[in-house]
Structure 1
Amino acid sequence: MIKKIVLFLGVMIWTAPFLIMLLIAFSSKNTNSFVELLSDNPLTFHNFITAWQEAEFSRYFINTVIITVVSVLIVLMATALSGYIMGYFDFKGKKLISAVMMISMGIPTIFFTIPVYQILRMLNCDTSLIGMILAEVGGGHVIFILLFSRFFFSIPGALRESALLDGANEFEVFFKIMFPLATPMIGTVVITQSIWTWNSFLYPLILSVNKPEIRTLSVGLYSFQGENVVEWGNIAAGACITILPMLVLFVMFQRSFIQGISGAVKE
């Protein structure tokens, strides 16, 4: 009984900020006082309408969807191919590459901000969605490569040899046999990279400073905060719009995500 009470209190504490945010989002009052929200405060969709139309969240939503979908596809293909090569083949310098990849995981992302911006500026795409996509996919994504590498390493080599004997080339072996087998890893990469890209703030903020129309949801949410006035109702509504797609995505792919993580740990 005590355990259930402790768990219930833990859940309530963990969900309290989210519930308060919902109350503020549907509130007809522009307040951050929990007491005022509970007292004579009819619920309304006004804050959501304001955020979606007047604050141009509709445009920010489309921008974020485009950046996230394209980034996830590029990262998925790049890391799956890299993991296949690292996990399934032996070649000269493999240990050195693995060591460099592991070391790179300890370097903070902030150190790459200026070089990435300079490269995008040289390519003349520092104020475009293409630039944001390149910035998001430009990292090493070592964790994903290691996940795929460990998975493909566990697949018997006889499977590839049989396919080659049947006349398939290396690309056909990968895309028709190996890649479909990695469904749990694919789910893990899709969910994780989607969340990272969807919630990314630093690069979208830097690249959209001179071009507000390419803002993402996270940057648009930040723009609600003025110098003297903070519109809490609109901020809460914008936050709900921002997190809802990721919640739906996680619910859809949670089984693949758990299978991918558990499979990587077992390996």
Structure 2
Amino acid sequence: MKRTTSSTAEVASATDGAPGRRGLSRHTTRWIQTVILAVVALAWVYPLLWIVSASVKDAMGIFSSGLSLWPETWHWDNYSRAWDEAGFARYMLNSIIVTVGTVAIVVVRCAAAGYVIARYRFVGRRLLVGVLAATMFIPTGLFIVPVVELSDLLGLLNSHLGLILALAGGGHVAAVLLYAGFYAQVPKELEEAALMDGAGFLRTFFRIMLPLSGPITATVVVLTFLATWNNFFLPLVFTFSVPQNRTLAVGMLAFEGTNSTDWSGLAAAASLSLLPILLLFIVLQRHFVEGIAGAVKN
């Protein structure tokens, strides 16, 4: 009887200890994963931190400090030189005008196209989707000549409006497909109710469908903002003869001379150009993640 009781106690003790060992194993695994992800995140973020660090160093300090992020002397005048002397105040305003205009046109156009593709059945619909998907594999540089010639004929070559239309006039296939995938999941009862209330296509789209696609719109806004803000080729062509219309990406050429480059000023300018992108992503982060998760789920 004692032996049976002893064996039962040993089994109970071993059983009680098993969750503790499993918990310790999960805890250790979690710590290992955290350390690995922290190292990967640091390697990913380090170039950004290095640019910010270089923006407050002098030209010699950038190369003499190696991989060190902490400057020996803080040179905040690099920012004032980039903002005032290099004209980045004007370039920042140009970038904001061009980017906001491009994003607005792309959102409305791609949302309308995605809505029509998802909700209407018409002849050649599948062919249209196939052509749109095929354009994703065509380099954008192939279209630069006809775009420039058409803009020149319309008198828009050296203007903000011409640059906005050129940037917004691309296929933007990813945005169209994101909207189409979202609108395909919307119940038809919403459209039927709007039709019974006397709403036409435009009213249904702008008052019901477009507000519903908030997460997708946030995703398209972020992606289009990044592509437009960092675009170099088209702004260079459209502002070649009008330097005062340059955007930030093109304006950084001011720091490159024939025989030397102002690396500290260039780093300060790059840091300034990153601020709007970071602020936009912080504001729209939750909606951006929801839009991407919804697109993957669909």
TM-score, normalised on structure 1?
Answer: 0.95
1:195 and 2:226 are equivalent in the alignment:
yes
Report what 1:24 is aligned to: 54
Report what 1:182 is aligned to: 213
1:131 and 2:162 are equivalent in the alignment:
yes
Distance 2:33 2:75 in 1: 38
1:237 and 2:276 are equivalent in the alignment:
no
Query: Is the alpha carbon distance of 1:87 and 1:28 closer, same or farther for their aligned partners in structure 2, counting shifts above 3 Å?
Result: same
**After superposition, where does 1:113-132 map in structure 2 within 5 Å?**
113-132=144-163
**After superposition, where does 1:220-259 map in structure 2 within 5 Å?**
220-259=251-290
Cα RMSD over matched residues? 1.7
| 8 Å Cα contact 1:31/1:232 also seen in 2 | no
1:69 Cα offset (Å): 0.4
Report what 1:8 is aligned to: 38
| 8 Å Cα contact 2:57/2:71 also seen in 1 | no
Identity %: 37
User: What amino acid is aligned across from residue 230 of structure 1 in structure 2?
Assistant: T
**Deviation string, structure 1 residues 12-70 (Cα, Å, up to 9, x no partner):** 22222222212211124554315277797321320000000000000000000000001
**After superposition, where does 1:27-176 map in structure 2 within 5 Å?**
27-35=57-65, 41-176=72-207
1:223 Cα offset (Å): 2.6
Query: Is the alpha carbon distance of 1:222 and 1:40 closer, same or farther for their aligned partners in structure 2, counting shifts above 3 Å?
Result: closer
Radius of gyration: which is bigger? 2
Distance 1:20 1:68 in 2: 27
Distance 1:30 1:138 in 2: 44
User: What amino acid is aligned across from residue 127 of structure 1 in structure 2?
Assistant: N
User: What amino acid is aligned across from residue 7 of structure 1 in structure 2?
Assistant: L
Query: Is the alpha carbon distance of 1:235 and 1:206 closer, same or farther for their aligned partners in structure 2, counting shifts above 3 Å?
Result: same
| 8 Å Cα contact 1:116/1:135 also seen in 2 | yes
Distance 1:56 1:201 in 2: 17
1:212 Cα offset (Å): 0.6
Distance 2:42 2:104 in 1: 37
Unpaired stretches in structure 2, ≥5 consecutive residues: 1-30
Distance 1:99 1:237 in 2: 44
| 8 Å Cα contact 2:86/2:254 also seen in 1 | no
SS in 1 for 2:62: coil
User: What amino acid is aligned across from residue 174 of structure 1 in structure 2?
Assistant: F
1:8 Cα offset (Å): 2.9
1:88 Cα offset (Å): 0.7
Distance 1:193 1:93 in 2: 28
Task: Using the TM superposition, name which of 227-236 and 9-18 deviates more.
Answer: 9-18
Report what 1:219 is aligned to: 250
Query: Is the alpha carbon distance of 1:25 and 1:39 closer, same or farther for their aligned partners in structure 2, counting shifts above 3 Å?
Result: closer
SS in 1 for 2:158: coil
Distance 1:195 1:153 in 2: 27
Distance 2:70 2:143 in 1: 49
Distance 1:109 1:31 in 2: 39
SS in 1 for 2:198: coil
Report what 2:293 is aligned to: 262
User: What amino acid is aligned across from residue 44 of structure 2 in structure 1?
Assistant: W
SS in 2 for 1:105: helix
Distance 1:249 1:262 in 2: 19
| 8 Å Cα contact 1:29/1:41 also seen in 2 | no
Unpaired stretches in structure 1, ≥5 consecutive residues: none
Distance 2:42 2:295 in 1: 32
